[in-house]
Structure 1
Amino acid sequence: MAKRYFSLDEAQALVPRVREMMGRALQLHGHLRAAIARLDATGTEVSWPVLRGEEALEDSDEFTEGLLRRARGLYFALRETISETEAIGVEVKGVVDGLVDFRSWRDGHEEVLLCWKLGEDEIEWFHGVDDGFAGRRPIAGHRFTAERERPDQALPTDPS
């Protein structure tokens, strides 16, 4: 999928929708962890291939198979929710933290990621493409555009 770039206003407008989607993903993740814990309590170790339905459980009974069907359903619902979120151009960085990034151009020239985390009211941070969450800096004093600008298009930034 091609990378999508957002202006700050476009990204801010999507925050309510992304908040709902990431909230749903977090709930599904919690239910999935509980379902896997129930399977673990029966002595059943669930691998990724088993969870994805690529492999079957060995020596399982009807109760365990029922637990596994629930876990698989939750897993696929979680994957679908993440896919729906990413389909609007948002990059999901962490379900548990509700962390997402929106690609943008800082001051029209530097590719950056507008960073938002579940629980925050709006986007207030950005970081470089290679910096990650630890490199978050405030958006204040910068413009964020959906398209890269030519140097002769740039507007001067407010130095304050």
Structure 2
Amino acid sequence: MTDRVFTLGEARALLPEVRLHIDAIVAARADLAELAFDLRSGRPSPLGGTPELKAYEARIDEAVGWFTIQGIEVKGVTPVLVDFPAYLRGESIRLCLLETETALTWYHRADLGFAGRRRLP
């Protein structure tokens, strides 16, 4: 993980790539959940078996790894929640993006987390 700090412009410029990786996680997560349920239930799945389950897990790990390389913090994958380290008025914050959001419009203080989420000024 890097100690990268983003400007709002830098974070927003990465959004198309961020969205692609979020969408990949969401798709793999859904298939993984369905396949895992079918395997636990002992019934055949059109999604495959244990090797495919491992492949879905690997896809999620790979996407999470992309975020880490970029310096973006992944706070969760169910739902996908990512934070871009940044500063606002000299204070350490995280620009915060939830999987359903298409624009970067929220932030929270670094020491508060999601509960302290506010709209960007």
Which residue does 2:39 correspond to in 1? 39
Which residue does 2:7 correspond to in 1? 7
Deviations 1:50-91 (A, max 9, x none): xxxxxxxxxxxxxxxx61111111111111111012211111
The CA distance in 1 between the partners of 2:102 and 2:54, in whole Å, is 33
The CA distance in 2 between the partners of 1:2 and 1:22, in whole Å, is 20
1:98 to partner: Cα distance: 2.3
Give the aligned length: 118
Q: Aligned match of 2:109 in 122, 128, 140?
A: 128
Provide structure 2 residue ranges, at least 5 long, that are not aligned to the other structure. none
Which residue does 1:80 correspond to in 2? 62
Q: In the alignment, is residue 90 of structure 1 matched against residue 72 of structure 2?
A: yes
Which residue does 1:22 correspond to in 2? 22
Identity across matched positions, percent: 32
1:113 to partner: Cα distance: 0.4
The CA distance in 1 between the partners of 2:83 and 2:37, in whole Å, is 30
Three-state SS of the structure 1 residue aligned to 2:95 is strand
What TM-score do you get using the length of structure 1 for normalisation? 0.68
The CA distance in 2 between the partners of 1:79 and 1:137, in whole Å, is 29
Which residue does 1:112 correspond to in 2? 93
Are 2:84 and 2:94, in contact at CA under 8 Å, matched by a contact in 1? yes
Three-state SS of the structure 2 residue aligned to 1:127 is strand
The CA distance in 2 between the partners of 1:112 and 1:9, in whole Å, is 15
Hey, which of these two has a bigger chunk of helix by percent? 2
Provide structure 1 residue ranges, at least 5 long, that are not aligned to the other structure. 44-65, 141-160
Structure 1 runs (4+) deviating above 3 angstroms are none
The CA distance in 2 between the partners of 1:76 and 1:4, in whole Å, is 25
